[in-house]
């Protein structure tokens, strides 16, 4: 029998898929609002710089919008908004949002497209304003970039309240006009993919166990069964694969482990080498015998953020019908203290035969990824990209500004970086020096130690060096996403909570490979 919450979660996924296929169906009887954009004035220019859609709306109301905006206060700054009522019979409320300066483009210092980021932030603000007014349908000005506008709307409206009695008004964002429909629909898919990761990461660990996680992803992929194969590998299969490192972590919990394997066959060429995406899937991380402090431990329900973002990226790739082959791997388990759990000083054996001294049971993510990376090589991949909320040291190094990337491939780094500039969900390259490798290979009892011998120094780098010992592929990248796991107020178009980052960057990266760039 399904857990009550599991039923709710799967029902939410069904609604999610329904939205993807039925975005064009309108509920015209619903209360409706409109979000329009305006750019900052240029020097010595007294005229408002409306977007094309906003200018057309202003003409339709005989210039009343311009008049009211001018008398309502100083010019709108980037990300600010104003609400007007009674302007048009089709819209109960109209929100004008500030888009900043026009035509900024890619900023080399910030490593993102400033226009896209400003647009996402502005649209999310406008949509939330109308949600607070309990409007059920919001039309959104594409502001010259329908994809970024859709991402801002869909990401900005998301809030995890599935277990609350009082919920936010459910708002359906729609494109205002039809000039940018294809880009808008693409943006909706990108944002819904990230929201799926957010939903999984935010849900309590007693509701999203390894089994429920795997079932949820399987349900999300059900509409694409003609291009998808899902394997939920049980413990017996994991044992048959000699994944001793993975099993050593899972044995401390009463919840059985699952090795989730997803095959998306999007390329017409069945022989095309696949892109391998691997995600850390610790559905709750207590630290094991090396127990974490109780303060903030509840956030460790999201320690499966790597698996959530990787699997959600594959759901999105399938929805977009990207012409590329992708295989996703997610070792799923809990890291718990018990009489069966790993003890500091234990030695375990990974799938490739290497032995590992486990001096800190809270450095468990690298253990389960070690076996998953070994298995990934059996598919002769084009490239391997793994994502993991791996180290607190990554958060210390970069905070929430960017995910850290450790890679042996300049080509792979360039493609990931290019994708992140487009999405605004940035990545930053970190070192894989031999300096760090020595710290995990000089070990008293085994081939490797699961922590660096200098403990806190360069913790994210020594973790990456450990993973590298299980990689022979020419193109491999490790994304440490611990710093971007949650959002307080750093990303204005995401509410406080688990972020689902960098799902859109992984999708954009896969789309780049699919296009042959």
Active site residues: 292, 366
- Residues 244 and 43 sit within 8 Å (Cβ to Cβ): no
What sections of 442-495 are H helices per DSSP? 459-468
Helix (H) or strand (E) holding 94: strand 91-98
Nearest 10 degrees: Cα torsion 426, 201, 510, 20: -120
Token duo for residue 500? 């689902």
Cis peptide before 502 (omega within 30 of 0): yes
Q: What does the DSSP 8-state code read for residue 141? A: -
Helix, strand, coil in percent for the chain, rounding step 5? 40, 20, 40
- Between CA 5 and CA 33, with CA 166 as vertex, the angle to 5 degrees is 115
CA gap 276, 265 in Å, rounded: 12
Tokens 């204005």, residue?
492
3-state secondary structure of 143: coil
Q: For residue 435, what are the CA distances in angstroms to 34, 61, 296, 353, 431?
A: 56, 67, 32, 24, 10
Torsion sign across C-alpha atoms 283, 286, 292, 295: positive
* Eight-state DSSP code of residue 22: -
**DSSP H or E stretch at residue 231:** strand 228-233
- In sequence order, which ranges of 424-487 are alpha helices (DSSP H)? 434-441, 459-468
């Amino acid at each position: 029998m399904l857990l009550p919450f599991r039923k709710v979660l799967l029902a939410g996924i069904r609604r999610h898929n329904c939205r993807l296929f039925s975005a064009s169906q309108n509920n015209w009887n619903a209360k409706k609002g409109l979000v329009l954009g305006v750019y900052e004035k240029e020097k010595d220019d007294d005229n408002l710089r409306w977007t094309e859609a906003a200018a057309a709306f202003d003409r339709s109301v005989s210039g009343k919008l311009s008049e009211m905006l001018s008398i309502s206060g100083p010019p709108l700054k980037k990300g600010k908004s104003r609400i007007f009522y009674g302007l048009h019979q089709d819209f109960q409320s109209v929100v004008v949002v500030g888009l900043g300066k026009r035509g900024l483009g890619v900023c080399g210092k910030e490593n993102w497209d400033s226009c896209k980021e400003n647009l996402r932030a502005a649209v999310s603000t406008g949509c939330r304003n109308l949600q607070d007014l309990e409007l059920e349908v919001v039309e959104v000005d594409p502001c010259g970039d329908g994809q970024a506008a859709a991402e801002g709307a869909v990401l900005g409206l998301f809030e995890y309240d599935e277990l609350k009695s009082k919920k936010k008004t459910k708002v359906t964002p729609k494109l205002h006009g039809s000039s940018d429909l294809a880009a808008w629909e693409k943006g909706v898919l990108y944002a819904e993919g990230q929201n799926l990761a957010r939903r999984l990461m935010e849900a309590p660990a007693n509701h999203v166990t390894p089994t429920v996680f795997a079932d949820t992803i399987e349900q999300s992929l059900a509409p694409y069964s003609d291009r998808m194969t899902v394997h939920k590998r049980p413990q017996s299969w994991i044992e048959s694969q000699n994944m001793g490192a993975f099993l050593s972590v899972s044995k401390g919990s009463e919840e059985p482990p699952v090795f989730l394997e997803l095959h998306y066959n999007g390329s017409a060429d069945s022989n095309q080498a696949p892109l391998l995406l691997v995600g850390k899937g610790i559905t709750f991380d207590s630290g094991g015998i090396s127990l974490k402090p109780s303060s903030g431990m509840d956030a460790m329900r999201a320690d499966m953020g790597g698996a959530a973002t990787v699997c959600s990226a594959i759901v999105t790739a399938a929805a977009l019908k990207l012409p590329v082959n992708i295989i996703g791997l997610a070792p799923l388990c809990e890291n718990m203290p018990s009489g069966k759990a790993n003890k500091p000083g234990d030695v375990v054996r990974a799938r490739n035969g290497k032995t590992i001294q486990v001096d800190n049971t809270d450095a468990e993510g690298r253990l389960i990824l070690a076996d998953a990376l070994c298995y990934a090589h059996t598919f002769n991949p084009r490239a391997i990209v793994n994502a993991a909320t791996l180290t607190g040291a990554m958060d210390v190094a970069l905070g929430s500004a960017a995910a850290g990337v450790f890679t042996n491939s300049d080509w792979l780094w360039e493609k990931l970086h290019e994708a992140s500039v487009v999405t605004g969900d940035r990545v930053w390259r970190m070192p894989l020096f031999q300096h760090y490798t020595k710290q995990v290979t000089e070990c008293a009892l085994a081939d490797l130690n699961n922590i660096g011998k200098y403990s806190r120094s360069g913790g994210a780098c020594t973790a990456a060096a450990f993973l590298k010992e299980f990689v022979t592929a020419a193109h491999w990248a490790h994304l440490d996403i611990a710093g971007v796991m949650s959002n307080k107020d750093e990303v204005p178009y995401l509410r406080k909570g688990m972020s689902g980052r960098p799902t859109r960057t992984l999708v954009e990266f896969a789309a780049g490979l699919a296009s042959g760039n």
